[in-house]
Structure 1
Amino acid sequence: MTVNAVRLNHAVLFVADLERSITFYQQAFDMRIVAREPRADAAFLRLPRSGNHHDLGLFGVGAQPARPRGSLGLYHLAWQVDTIEELEQARLTLADLDALTGESSHGATKSVYAHDPDGNEFEVMWMLPKASWGDYADAAPIERLDLPGEVRRWAGVHTAAELVPLNAPVDAPVEAS
Structure 2
Amino acid sequence: MVVSAVRLNHAVLHVSDLERSLDFYQRVFGMEVVAREPRANAAFLKLPRSGNHHDLGLFGIGGSYGPKRPGIGLYHLAWQVDTIDELQDAQVVLAEAGALVGESSHGATKSLYAQDPDGNEFEVMWMLPRSEWGAYENSAPIERLDLRGDVERWTGVSTSDELRPRLAQGDA
TM-score, L = length of structure 2: 0.95
Q: Within 5 Å, which residues of 2 pair with 1:95-134?
A: 95-134=95-134
| Matched-pair identity in % | 68
Q: Per-residue CA shift, 1:85-132, capped at 9, x if unaligned?
A: 000000100000000000000000000000000000000000000000
* Count of aligned pairs: 168
2:18 matches 1:6: no
Partner of 2:74: 74
Aligned counterparts, 1:1-177, within 5 A: 1-63=1-63, 64-69=65-70, 71-165=71-165, 167-168=167-168
SS across alignment from 1:117: coil
Q: 1:136 to 1:166 in 2, by over 3 A?
A: closer
Q: Deviations over 1:30-49 (max 9, x none)?
A: 00000000000000000000
TM-score (norm: length of structure 1): 0.92
**Any stretches of 5+ residues in structure 2 without a counterpart?**
none
Q: List runs of 5+ in structure 1 lacking aligned partners.
A: 170-177
Letter in 2 for 1:22: L
Moved over 3 A (4+): none
Mapped to 2, the partners of 1:164 and 1:123 lie a distance apart of 20
